[in-house]
Amino acid sequence: MKTFPGVITALTLLAVIDLTGIPLVMADSPLPDIGQSGASLLTPAEERRTGEAVVRNIRQAGGIIEDPQLTDYINYLGAQLLPYADNPDQNRFQFFIVDDNSINAFALPGGFIGVNYGLILASESESELASVIAHEIAHVTQRHYARAYEHASNTQLPVLAALIAAIILGSKGNELGQAAVTSAAAGTLQQQINFTRHNEEEADRIGIQLLAKAGFDATAMAGFFDKLDKQSRLQGENVPNFLRSHPVNTQRITDAQSRAAQYPKAKPRDTLSYQLMRQRLLALTASNPETVLAQCDKELNSEKNPVLSQPSRYGEALLLIRLKKYAQAENEIHRLLNLQPQRIAYLLADAEILAKNNRLPEALNFYESILKLYPTNAAIIHDYVAALLRAQRADTAKNVLTQYMKTNVPEPEFFQYLAQAESMLNNPASSHEALAEYYYATGQYHQSLDQIQLALKLPRLDFYTASRLEARAQLIKQEIPASNPSTATQN
């Protein structure tokens, strides 16, 4: 990642206040009417480009949990809220999980919303998690970043994207992020504090409305804020980042409760998917799987109802897979499949056990049967292609990937798999091109350009392919932030 000298603009200051753990906002700050003037200066296309670049930069630093099932769930949850949002079509929303155990969430320009896995684990219901996502959706639909851009119209978008990403990563001790916070605090602090206070009030109001209309518990937002606030008071200075970036006081919680009371009480929701994915996060992020496994055992022993014990049993199976105890894991998954034979999470866990336990032919047959049930599911395709490549079936892997990528936006790893398949099929130009797209999607712009140059140097490259690659290289170069060569560094 690169570092950039110079003054941080008001847009990045908004990111500092909204995304980091710096308690800058006072409870009695006034709430001025900001208006819409900034919205005309940043077009939706520019917002999208900035947000995409921020996500690529976060991904380059390894800051995103690349798990198709978890990604699918968080996007599914967001999709439950979007039909009730203002102008949802102006943004192609994309939700992702940040590999950070602190309690935080943030919105980016263009419809990108990140949720730290620590916040998901801190939530105790799907409505609580949905309340945070609804709040961040409101930040995007109300174009709060576009308003802030009024003060940053002369700054290059790639530079802004790099700085915002650095600020997000700064919560994990990134030096660039800390430097950005220090620089941003100078000059326009009071104006930006007021601006952010107004945004937070507006996001609360609209977020609660989204919750209620989508059938979630509208009281969950105030309840979650209040719970986090009480926990932070008990923990002293260890305040959750979400509360620091979204300051909570008694009046704000009371206002949220009053707004929620205006809506009918929500009907109970089936939250098994939420509970399963929460267990999946626990299993995948556990630094000590044995300890978490013991907790799952305890929960299973205390819960006699096999239907209610599904989340704990699923978590136990995943932990057993991590510990390579495949026979035990298979027993647990088969118990779950007896209850719900078509649930994707259970089917994929069963197939994963077969693949990792050197039963690859069985696993491939199983993936093919699952794919017939869910032909466009990204998690199934991801795991199936990985197994195909292990089995040296590159032609089938390529066909599956290309069919999927015709109508869906692929995760970066799909390009990596496609590059591997093309290489195995002795198609070097296509392999370099796919790998270039993988590097681009993960914010590694120079490596992406290197792959294109390798492809262009191949003998007997046809004119059409060469022209396409050269045009792509020019577009990628535009995404590289301008910097001072004497001070910029690249990892």
pLDDT in tens, 247-301: 777 888 898 899 999 999 888 777 899 999 999 999 999 999 999 999 998 888 8
Contact 39, 46 (CB under 8 A): no
How far apart are the two ends of the chain, measured CA to CA in Å? 5
Residue 130 lies in a domain: yes
- Average pLDDT, stretch 449-460? 97
Structure confidence at residue 209 as a pLDDT band (50, 70, 90)? very high
Contact 373, 390 (CB under 8 A): no
pLDDT at residue 182 greater than cutoff 80: no
Per annotation, catalytic residue among 204, 229, 332, 433 = 204
Residue 64 lies in a domain: yes
Residue 331 lies in a domain: no
Instruction: Collapse the DSSP code of 85 into the 3-class scheme (helix H, G, I; strand E, B; otherwise coil) and give the result.
Output: coil
Per annotation, catalytic residue among 67, 136, 200, 383 = 136
Question: Can 124 be counted among the known catalytic residues?
Answer: no
What pLDDT is attached to residue 132? 95
Count of alpha carbons within 13 Å of 340, Cβ hemisphere only? 18
pLDDT at residue 217 greater than cutoff 50: yes
pLDDT at residue 157 greater than cutoff 50: yes
- Average pLDDT, stretch 61-90? 90
More confident residue, 65 or 245: 65
pLDDT at residue 188 greater than cutoff 90: no
How much is the mean pLDDT over the chain?
82
Residue 300 lies in a domain: no
Question: Count of domains in the chain?
Answer: 2
Structure confidence at residue 139 as a pLDDT band (50, 70, 90)? confident
Lowest-confidence pick of 201-210, 414-423, 482-491? 482-491
What's 8-40 look like in SS3?
Answer: CCHHHHHHHHHHCCCCCCCCCCCCCCCCCHHHH
Q: Which residues touch 339 (CB under 8 Å, ≥6 apart)?
A: 306, 307, 310
Q: Which of 16-30, 266-280, 425-439 has the highest mean pLDDT?
A: 425-439
What's 339-404 look like in SS3?
Answer: HCCCCHHHHHHHHHHHHHCCCHHHHHHHHHHHHHHCCCCHHHHHHHHHHHHHCCCHHHHHHHHHHH
Contact 423, 396 (CB under 8 A): no
Question: Can 126 be counted among the known catalytic residues?
Answer: no
Residue 485 lies in a domain: yes
Contact 145, 465 (CB under 8 A): no
Helix H or strand E segment including 294? helix 289-302
What pLDDT is attached to residue 47? 80
As given in the structure block, the two tokens for residue 64 are 């995103």
Q: Please give the residue range of the domain that contains residue 221.
A: 10-260
Query: Cα 409 to chain center, whole Å?
Result: 14
Residue 216 lies in a domain: yes
Last residue of a domain, one of 215, 239, 260: 260
- Average pLDDT, stretch 449-471? 97
Residue 224 lies in a domain: yes
Query: Would you state the torsion angle of the CA atoms of residues 488, 490, 434, 423, taken in this order, to the nearest 10 degrees?
Result: 150
Structure confidence at residue 19 as a pLDDT band (50, 70, 90)? very low
What pLDDT is attached to residue 235? 65
Instruction: Collapse the DSSP code of 421 into the 3-class scheme (helix H, G, I; strand E, B; otherwise coil) and give the result.
Output: helix
Distance from C-alpha of 413 to C-alpha of 411, rounded to nearest angstrom: 6
What's 215-228 look like in SS3?
Answer: CCCCCHHHHHHHHH
Structure confidence at residue 44 as a pLDDT band (50, 70, 90)? confident
More confident residue, 250 or 388: 388
- Average pLDDT, stretch 398-407? 96
Helix H or strand E segment including 44? helix 44-60
Last residue of a domain, one of 241, 260, 279: 260
What pLDDT is attached to residue 4? 29
Residue 391 lies in a domain: no
| Closest CA relative to residue 429, chosen from 403, 453, 405, 397 | 453
Contact 34, 94 (CB under 8 A): no
Contact 13, 188 (CB under 8 A): yes
The structure's pTM equals: 0.84
Contact 206, 256 (CB under 8 A): no
- Average pLDDT, stretch 407-422? 96
Last residue of a domain, one of 214, 241, 260: 260
